[in-house]
Structure formats: structure tokens, C-alpha cells
Amino acid sequence: MKYYSPQSKEKISLKVESSPVWEIILGIAGYTHSKLRHTFDFDEKWKMDSPSMPAALQNRLIWIEETNSWFALIMLQNKLSAETIRDFSNSLYQVTYEEFYEIVLPYKNRECENLRRSLAENMLNNELLNTYVEQFKDHEFLGGYIQNLSRQGLDELRELLIDSVQEWFAWISQKEEWSTWSKALQYEDKLQASLDEKNPIEEIERITGGVRYVPEPSIWTIKLIPHVSYRPWVMEQRTSETKLFFYPVKEEYLLEPGVPGQDLINGHKALGDGTRLKLLYELMKGPLSLQEISGRFNLSKTTVHHQLSLLKAAKLVRTDKGIYSINEIQIHSLTNKLEQFLGIRK
């Protein structure tokens, strides 16, 4: 059978997008992620620096944590692609009511798009609101997030989001490390200026340090956004047409000679526990679910999940649809990093 198609196939658009605005928003997202914050590279530093944080900023961050409004900041910056805080603020003031809510309301699937867009036109329609919230009944936070969007007016939301970004920047930019972070992000942006768009899947894995992306329906744009504040995690988000991967810049961009990297510290902390070493030993035999691991060790799922989160933060294990597996490449890398740090030559 012969087949002829005169139209060229549509390709995924792949790009790296970096700006101080992204770093500020991801810093806010990381700081207010209380359940996972103990695994962040900067958790201890944030704790030490918190006494210097203005009361107004502390109140903004409490509000963001309670409402998960960091998600709105990410969605807005994805749309606005602001280079500076002023650009972000000015552009946000120009966004209309319908545009604002269409941007910040989370995408569910194609079947729910008409419902999502109808709700964006009238957030006070309780029937539409409750119907869309119901779509996220099994999600950890998005149902509550949508309800919170309806409880405040647009002008108040705009002011709270803009004030949060401005106040976080005013606080974090005074820290000595901010200049180093900015240079590292600029360097990463230049390093990835030329991408192999013919092989987007391989490029995503290379740049993010291991993400194995599976193409999704309706996704035509993929943004790779380098960060420092959310280290060591790779975070994923999506809109109706765009997939976002937030990946950590390489640690060597941030270090002075003789200073051990956080990857090195976290890796050896993760290995410095008998239970976690036993978990790795079991995973070397093959992938396991949380329930299977819990059964083998006779531990609660909560306890096992906590231990696995530390191993995952150290990148020693991976998870895919609830199945955990060993990351042998990272284990070998950890050994190499220790030898390099100590100056051991093979």
C-alpha cells in the first residue's frame, strides 16, 4: 500500500528559558513546600536566614503555602515570560479577568477544556466551580487551590502575587549567593543556546540529567527552565499546550574550590543510614512499589516513603508511576565526585 502526505509533520518546539523572575518564583515555591522542604539543598540556609525576613514577606509566604498560590505564579510566568520583576508586574496588571483565570486555572484534560474556559469567564458561578473542583478530587492540592482562587477578587489576587514576588526578590537578592546564582543561570542559558530539536527526547534527558520524557497529546512546546532554589529536584508542570521541566543547574557552577557540593553531602547523608542502605540493596534486585517495600521491611508506608524521599532527593533512586528503581549512574557518579573532591587520582 502506497501512502502520500503532502503536509510536513508538526514538531515539538524545545527551548531553554531562564530569567531572574523564574528563579524568584521557584524560590517561593521551594520555601513554601513544607512537606518536601527538608530535602531541599537550601533548607538549612533558609532556616538560618529566616530571622532577617521582613514580617510582611513572612505573611505573604504563609498565604502562598496555605493557598498553593505558587502554582499561579508559575502559570503566569510561563505565559508572560517576564525578564524582570517590573516586566512581570506591568504585564500582570494588563491581563484581563478572563485571561488571568484561563492562565492560572490548572489544565485537566481535553475533555474538560470547555468547562475550564467557561469557569475562567465567571469564577463566581458555583455550579461550574464545583464541577471543575470535582475533577481534581484525587489531587493533593489543586481542588483546594481552585476554590481559593474564587474566594478573592482579581485585584486583590494580583496585588498579593506581585507583592510576594517583589518582597522575595528584595530579601533574597541581598544574600551573597544571589550574584553567583545569577551568573550560573546566565552561563547555563548560553550553554544550552543551541538545541538539537530533531531529537527532543534525547535533549530533554541530557539537559535535565535523566528525565525520560514520554510525548503527550496536545503538547507542542517544551520549556526547560534551569534553577538553583529548587535544588536538587526536577519539577514538572503543564498547560494545555506546554510542558515545563524545571531542572537544577550543575553544582560545579556554584562552588568554590575545596567546598563540598550539596550533591556529595546529600548523597553520603542518604547512605549514612542502615535502613536506606537496605532499601538500595533490595532495589538493586529490581524495581518495587511502595507497598512491596513496606511489606518486605515490615514498616509503615509513611516511614518507607520518608526514607525513599531522601534517597530520591539524593538522586539515588527514581520513581515512575509509583514504582521505585535504583539509579546506578548516580551511585557511580557519587563515588567519582568524592574522589574528585579529595583529589584521588586513579
Report pLDDT digits (tens) over 265-299. 889 999 999 999 999 999 999 999 999 999 999 99
Domain that includes residue 105, residue range: 13-248
Does residue 60 sit in the same domain as residue 186? yes
- Residue 188: pLDDT over 70: yes
Starting at the edge strand found earlier in the chain, the sheet holding 235-238 runs 13-16, 221-227, 242-248, 235-238
3-state class (DSSP) for residue 134:
helix
The cell for 222 is 517544551
Does residue 267 sit in the same domain as residue 239? no
Q: Is residue 181 part of a domain?
A: yes
- Residue 182: pLDDT over 90: yes
Using CA atoms, how far apart are residues 46 and 329, in angstroms rounded to an integer?
30
Does residue 243 sit in the same domain as residue 293? no
Computed over every residue of the chain, the mean pLDDT equals 91
Q: Is residue 58 part of a domain?
A: yes
Using CA atoms, how far apart are residues 270 and 292, in angstroms rounded to an integer?
21
Using CA atoms, how far apart are residues 71 and 130, in angstroms rounded to an integer?
20
- Residue 117: pLDDT over 80: yes
Position 5 confidence tier, pLDDT thresholds 50, 70, 90 = low
- What secondary structure letter does DSSP report for 8? P
Higher pLDDT, 143 or 345: 143
- Residue 346: pLDDT over 80: no
Higher pLDDT, 193 or 282: 282
Position 153 confidence tier, pLDDT thresholds 50, 70, 90 = very high
pLDDT at 151: 94
3-state class (DSSP) for residue 87:
helix
pLDDT at 6: 55
Q: Is residue 94 part of a domain?
A: yes
Count structural domains, the chain: 2
Does residue 227 sit in the same domain as residue 275? no
Position 320 confidence tier, pLDDT thresholds 50, 70, 90 = confident
Q: DSSP string covering 229-267, please?
A: TTTT--EEEE-SSEEEEEEEPPGGGT--TTPPPHHHHHH
Q: Are 60 and 67 a contacting pair, CB within 8 Å?
A: no
pLDDT at 166: 98
Query: Among 219, 248, 277, which residue terminates a domain?
Result: 248
The cell for 50 is 529566616
Instruction: Summarize the confidence of residues 111-135 as an average pLDDT.
Output: 96
Using CA atoms, how far apart are residues 227 and 182, in angstroms rounded to an integer?
10
Higher pLDDT, 170 or 212: 170
Q: Is residue 158 part of a domain?
A: yes
Proportion of the chain above pLDDT 90, given as a percent: 74
Does residue 293 sit in the same domain as residue 237? no
Q: Are 209 and 247 a contacting pair, CB within 8 Å?
A: yes
CATH number, residue 315 = 1.10.10.10
Q: Are 259 and 340 a contacting pair, CB within 8 Å?
A: no
Highest mean pLDDT among 1-15, 152-166, 317-331: 152-166
Does residue 237 sit in the same domain as residue 297? no
Query: Among 207, 225, 248, which residue terminates a domain?
Result: 248
Q: Is residue 331 part of a domain?
A: yes
Does residue 329 sit in the same domain as residue 232? no
Rounded to 5 degrees, what are φ and ψ at 139? -85, 150
Instruction: Summarize the confidence of residues 197-205 as an average pLDDT.
Output: 90
Q: Is residue 155 part of a domain?
A: yes
Using CA atoms, how far apart are residues 271 and 277, in angstroms rounded to an integer?
6
Does residue 161 sit in the same domain as residue 299? no
Q: Is residue 172 part of a domain?
A: yes
Does residue 213 sit in the same domain as residue 93? yes
Does residue 54 sit in the same domain as residue 187? yes
Q: Is residue 127 part of a domain?
A: yes
From the list 332, 28, 321, 22, the residue with the least C-alpha distance to 167 is 28
pLDDT at 2: 54
Does residue 23 sit in the same domain as residue 153? yes
Instruction: Summarize the confidence of residues 256-261 as an average pLDDT.
Output: 78
Query: Among 221, 248, 275, which residue terminates a domain?
Result: 248
pTM: 0.77
Does residue 63 sit in the same domain as residue 155? yes
